Structure 1
Amino acid sequence: MGEQTAKAPGLNRAKTYQLVLFPLNNGATNVYYVLVLSYIATFGSKVLALSMIFASVMVTGMRLFDAITDPIIGALMDRTNGKFGKFRPFMVIGNLIMAASILVLYCLTPLIPASSMGLRYAAFVALYAVWVIGYTFQTSCTRSGQTVLTNDPKQRPLFTIFNTVGSLLGMGAMQFFAPILAKNYEGGYASAGFFRTLAPVGIVISILLTILAIIGIWEKDQPKYFGIGGEVSEKVKLHEYVQIIKNNNPMQRLMVAGAGCKLALSIATNTTVLCMLYGCMMGNYDGLYLPMMVLGYVFSVPFFLLTVRTSQKEGQKASLMKYVSVAFICYIGVLVLLLLWGRSDAFTLSIMGGNGLSINLYTILFIAFFGIGYGAYYATADMPIPMVADCSDYETYRSGNYIPGIMGTLFSLVDKLVSSLSATVVGIAVSFIGLESLPTQYDPYTPGMNWVVIVLFCIIPMVAWAATLIAMKGYTLTGEKMKEIQAVNACRRDAVANGMKLEEAMTKWQSMDQLPVEYRS
C-alpha cells in the first residue's frame, strides 16, 4: 500500500497511516453530530424551556443560513493554497469554532434567567449559527481532502472502512458515554448538568481526533496533488459553480443518494425515537439501548468488509446499491414486528429479566432483522463520502477544474440539511400525539406512540433507501469508468507539468484509447 511502489504513471497512492488517520476527521465532526444534532432539540425544549416545535424546526430552518455559507466556504477552500496547505487550516479553525460555540451553548445559556426568555431564544439561535459555520469548515475537508489523499481505484474504497472506524470512534464514543452520564443526573437527558458534562467530554475527543487527521493529510496537502494544473490551476469564479454542478450529473445523483442514506441513519438513530422505542414502548431503555447499539455495531463489521471488497471488484456504485437493498429487505421484517407489538407479553423486546436472561422469539427475530439491516445501512451510510472524490475527479476530467472545496461543501450542505431535517420530522411527529415536549427514557407510553415509532424507525428510512436506489441506477461512475478518468487525468497532468497548455491537453486526451500505452495499465 506504499505510495511509490509499482504504480502507474501519475497514480497517487496513500500510505497506510494516511488512509487510517485522515478519516478520523469524520470522527471528529461526528462527535458534534451526536453532541448537537441528537440532543439540541431536547436541550432547547427541556433545559432552556423553549417551544418544542421551535427547538426542532429551528435546526432545519438554520439550513437557509447554510445555503449561503456553504458555497462561500467551498469557494474559499478552492482558492486557498497557503503555507499550511488547502485543507489543514479549515480543519483546525472549524474544530475550534465548534468547541467554543458548544461550550458556551450547553454550559452558559442555562444560566440566563427564565425571566429573560427572549435572550435565551436569541443566544440559542446565534450560537447554533456559529456552530454551523465551524461544522461546514471541518466536514467539507473530509469530502474534499480525499482527492489529494489517493486516486487509486483500489485504495479509495478503503476510505469507507477507515472513515466508518473514525465515525465509530467519534459517534460511538458519544453514544456510549451519553446514557452513562445521564444516569448521574436527575432527569437524565433533560438535565442541565448532563449537558455541562457531556460537552467537554465530546470536545476533548473531537480535538484529539482532529490532531490525528491533520497528521494523516499533512504530506498530501500540497499543490502537486491539486488537480491537473497544480499551483497554476485556473481559479473558478463563484457564479460559475451553478453551471458546473448543473453539468455534473453524477454529483446530482450522489447528492440524492447521500441524502437518502443520511436521512435513514439520522432518524432511525435519533435519541428521541430510541427513547420511545426502548423506553416508552418496551419499558426497559437502560436494559435495551446499549445492548442493541452494541449488537448493531457487531453486525456492521462483516458488512464493512463486504462493502470494501465489492467496491474494489465491482465499483462503489454496485456496492452501495447491493447493501442498501439488503437493509431495505431486512427492515420489512422490522416493520412487521413493530406492527405486532403489544398483542401480548410475547410481542415485546426482552433480554434480561429479574432472574437473569429472559429472551423470547420476538426478540430473536428483532435482533436478526434489525442487526442485519442496521449492519448493512450503517456500512453504507458513509459510502457516498469517498464517492464525492470520484465526482470531483470526474469534474476535473470533464472541465479541467479542480474544485474539491465546492464539491465537499455541496455534499456537506445536503448532509446537514437532512441531519437537521430529522429533528424537525421527529418534533412534528411527536406533536401529533399531543406531547408538548420531546419524550425521554423516563416518560410513560402515550397512545399512538407506537405508530410514531413505526413511521420514524422504519417507514421513512425505507422511503429514503428507495430514493437512493432510484438515484444510483443512473449513476455513470462505475469502477471501469473511474479507471479511465484517473488515467486520462494523469496523462493530462503530466503533459501540463511538462509545459503543455491545459486546453490543449483537454482536447488531445479524452478517452482511454487515445492515451499513450504506459497510461493504460
Structure 2
Amino acid sequence: MSEQTPKTTGLNRAKPYQLVLFPLNNGATNVYYVLILSYVATFGSTVLLLGTVFASVMVTAMRVFDAITDPIIGALMDRTNGKFGKFRPFMVIGNLIMAVSVLILYIATPMIPETMMPLRYVMFVLLYGVWVIGYTFQTSVTRAGQTVLTNDPKQRPLFTIFNTVGSLVGMGVMQFSAPIIASGFQAEGGYGAAEFYAVFAPVGIVISIALTILAIIGIWEKDQPKYFGLGGSTSTEKVKMSEYIAIIKANNPMQRLMVAGAGCKLALSIATNTTVLCMLYGCMMGNYDTLYLPMMVLGYVFSVPFFLLTVRTSQKKGQKASLVRYVSIALLMYVGVLVLLLLWNPENPNFMFSIYSMTDGKFNLTINLYTVLFIVFFGIGYGAYYATADMPIPMVADCSDYETYRSGKYIPGIMGTLFSLVDKLVSSLSATVVGIAVSAIGLSKLPTQYTEYASGMNWVVIILFCIIPMVAWAATLIAMKGYTLTGDKMKEIQAINSCRRDAVANGMKLEEAMEKWQTIDQLPEQYRV
C-alpha cells in the first residue's frame, strides 16, 4: 500500500497510517453526534425544563438547518486552496466551534434561573445553531477529503472499515462512558441530572480534539493541489449555487446513494436512540443497568466479522454488492427481533429478555430461550447494519470521481454535502419521531432508565426499534438496485480519470483530455492494466 504519485502510475494510493488516521475525523464528529443528538432532547426537557415536544422538535429543526448549511460550506470548501490546504482548516475551525458551543450549552445554560425561562429557550436555540455550523464544517471533510486520500479501487473499500473503527472509537467510547458517568448521579436523576452533562461534555470534547489531531496528521500530505481532481483549474472549481440541481439530475448514482445513505442513517439513529433503548431495556425488560452495556458489547463483537466481510466483498465485487448483501442480512434478522418483541409478556418470565440479576450482592444467571433468540437475532442484525451504516460515506468518493469523469469538475465538497443534505434531512426525523411517539402515550418527559413502564410503551419500542429501521433498509435495497457504480465500472472510471489527469499535468487542456479519452478501450495500455 505504498504511495505512488499520479505522475508515476496515474494511481493515487495512501500510506497505511493515512488510511488509519484520517477516518478518525468521523470518530471526532461522532463524539458530538452522541453528545448532542442522543442527549440534547433529554437535557432540554429534564434539565432546562423546555418541554418534551419543543426539545425533540428542535433536534429536527436544527438537523434541517444543518442540512441547509451543508451545500454552502461544501461550495466554500471547493473554493478553498490556501497555505494549509483545502480540508485541514475546516477540521480545526469546526472542532473549536463545537467545543465552545457545547461547553456553554451543557454547563452554563442550567445556571440560568427558572424565572428567566425565555432566556433558556433563546440560549438553547442559539447555541444549538452555532454547534450545527461547527459540526457541518468538520463532518463535510470526512466525505470530501477521502477523494484525495486514495482512488485505488482495492484500497478505497478499506476506508469503510477504518471509518467504522473511527466511528466506534468516538461513538463507542461515549456510549460506554455515558451510563457509567450517569450511575454516579443516580440520586440526582441520571441522564436527567445537570451534573451528568457538566462531566460528560468535557470528557467528550477532550476525546474529540485528540481524534481531530490524529485525523489532521492522516490527511496532511494529501491535502495539496496535485491530488485535486484532474489538476489544473479544477483544483479550485467554482460552481454556482444554481448548478447544484443540474449536478444531482445528471449524477444518477448520487441520487440513489442519497436514498441509501438516508435509509441507513435513519435506521441507526432511531434504533440506537437513548430514549428508545431506555424504554426497551429499562421500562419493558426492567433492568437497564444489566442489559444496556452487555448488549452494546455484544453488538460491537458481532460487528467485527461483518467489518471484515464487507471489505472483502467490496474489494472483490464492489461497494454496491457489499452494501446490498449485508443490509439484506440485517433486514432478515430484524424480522426475528420483531417477532420476539411482539411476544413480550411482562407477566411471564419466559417471554422477558434477561441476562443476569443481582440479589443480596449475589450474581444470578437468568438467561432463557427468549433471551438466547434475542441475542442471536439482534447480534447478527446489529452487526450487519452497523458494518454498513457508514458504507455510503466512502461510496460518496466514488460518486465524486464519477462526476469528475462525467463533467471534469472536481467538487468533492459539494458532492459530499449534497449527499449529507438529504441524509440529515431524513435522519433529523429521528428525535421528532421519538418525541411525538412518547407524547402519544401520555408522557410529558422523555423516559430515562429509571422511568416506570407506561401502557403503550411496547408498541412505541416495536415501531421505533424494529419497523422503522426495517422500512429504511428496504428503501436502501430498492435504491441500490439501479446503482451503476459497480466494482468493474469504478476501475474503468479511475483509469480514465488517471489518464486525463496525467495528460493535463503534461500540458494538455482539460477539454481536449475529456474529449480524447472517454472509454477504457481508448486508453494507452499502461492504464488498462
TM-score exceeds 0.5: yes
Counterpart residue number, 1:254: 257
Corresponding position of 1:211 = 213
Query: 1:285 matched to which residue of 2?
Result: 288
Structure 1 segments unaligned to the other structure (5+ residues): none
Measure, in 2, the Cα distance between the counterparts of 1:277 and 1:236.
48
**Residue in 2 that maps onto 1:224:** 226
The verdict on how the C-alpha distance between 1:316 and 1:7 changes in structure 2, with shifts beyond 3 A counting, is farther
Match of 2:182 in 1: 182
Q: Distance in 1 between matches of 2:6 and 2:49?
A: 62
Deviations 1:389-441 (A, max 9, x none): 00000000000000000112122223333333211110011111000110001
Count of aligned pairs between the two proteins: 521
Contact 2:91 2:137 in 1 (8 A): yes
Separation in structure 1 between the aligned mates of residue 411 and residue 311 of structure 2, nearest angstrom:
26
Distance in structure 2 (CA, Å) of the matches to 1:95 and 1:418: 24
Structure 1 counterpart of 2:491, from 483, 496, 507 = 483
Q: Distance in 1 between matches of 2:430 and 2:401?
A: 31
- Per-residue CA deviations over 1:202-248 (Å, capped at 9, x if unaligned) read 00000000000000000000000000024554422232222112211
Which residue pairs with 1:96 in the alignment? 96
Aligned 1:8-157 pairs, distance under 5 A: 9-157=9-157
Contact 1:264 1:460 in 2 (8 A): yes
Q: CA deviation at 1:156?
A: 0.3
The equivalences for 1:1-12 within 5 A come to: 1-4=1-4, 9-12=9-12
SS across alignment from 2:143? helix
Contact 1:25 1:166 in 2 (8 A): yes
One-letter amino acid of the structure 2 residue matched with residue 197 of structure 1? V
Partners of 1:140 and 1:503 lie apart in 2 by 29
The aligned counterpart of 2:508 is: 500
Rate the CA distance shift 1:63–1:352 in 2: closer, same or farther, 3 A.
Answer: closer
2: CA distance, partners of 1:244 / 1:347: 52
| Residues 33, 171 of structure 1: 8 Å contact kept | yes
Report how far residue 6 of structure 1 moved: 12
Conserved 8 A contact 1:23-1:166 = yes
Q: In structure 1, the residue corresponding to 2:14 is in which secondary structure?
A: coil
Instruction: After superposition, give the CA deviation of every residue in 1:480-520 in whole Å (9 maximum; x if it has no partner).
Output: 00000000000111111111111111111111011111100
Aligned partner of 2:380 in structure 1 is 372
Tell me if 1:350 matches 2:358. Answer: no
CA contact (8 A) 2:275 2:446 kept: yes
Asked if residue 449 in structure 1 is aligned to residue 457 in structure 2, the reply is yes
1:58 Cα deviation from its structure 2 partner: 1.2
Residue in 1 that maps onto 2:240: 237
CA distance in 1, matches of 2:234, 2:331: 47
Pairwise mapping of residues 451-466 of structure 1 onto structure 2 (< 5 A)?
451-466=459-474
2:419 to 411, 426, 431: 411
Q: Which amino acid aligns with 1:93?
A: I
Cα drift, residue 47 of structure 1: 0.4
Query: Partner of 1:333 in structure 2?
Result: 336
Q: Quick check: 327-336 or 352-361, which moved more?
A: 352-361
The 1:181–1:190 alpha-carbon spacing in structure 2 relative to 1, beyond 3 Å, is: same
CA distance in 1, matches of 2:462, 2:200: 30
**1:95–1:210 CA contact under 8 A, matched in 2:** yes
Cα pair 1:8 1:519 within 8 Å, conserved: no
- Contact kept? 1:321, 1:472, Cα under 8 Å: yes
Q: Is the 8 A contact 1:331 1:369 kept in 2?
A: yes
Secondary structure of 1:436's counterpart equals: coil
Counterpart AA for 1:124:
F
Q: 1:481 to 1:8 in 2, by over 3 A?
A: farther
Residues 312 and 232 of structure 1, relative CA distance in 2, 3 Å threshold: closer
SS at match of 2:340: helix
Q: CA deviation at 1:71?
A: 1.1
Q: Which runs of 4+ in 1 moved over 6 A?
A: 5-8
Aligned with 2:303 (options 277, 293, 300): 300
Tell me if the contact between 2:95 and 2:135 (Cα under 8 Å) persists in the aligned partners. Answer: yes
Cα displacement (A) at 1:126? 0.6
3-state DSSP of counterpart to 1:157: helix
Q: Which runs of 5+ in 2 are unaligned?
A: none
Asked if the contact 1:223/1:231 (under 8 Å) is kept, the reply is no
- Which deviates the most, 277-286 or 54-63? 54-63
- Take 1:71 and 1:108, find their aligned partners in 2: how far apart are those partners? 31
Secondary structure (helix, strand or coil) at the match of 1:418 reads helix
Q: Counterpart of 2:348 in structure 1: which amino acid?
A: S
Asked whether the 8 Å contact 1:139–1:412 carries over to 2, the reply is no
1:299 Cα offset (Å): 0.2
Alignment-mate amino acid for residue 15 of structure 1: K
Listed one character per residue, the Cα deviations across residues 315-344 of structure 1 (whole Å, up to 9, x for unaligned) are: 000000000000000000000000000161
Q: Which amino acid aligns with 1:370?
A: F
Matched-pair contact (CA < 8 Å) for 2:232–2:504: no
Match of 2:166 in 1: 166
Counterpart of 1:43 in 2: which secondary structure?
A: helix
Contact kept, 8 Å, 1:393 with 1:486, in 2: the verdict is yes
**Displacement of 1:144 after TM fit?**
0.4
| % identical equivalent positions | 82
- State the Cα distance separating 1:151 from its structure 2 match: 0.1
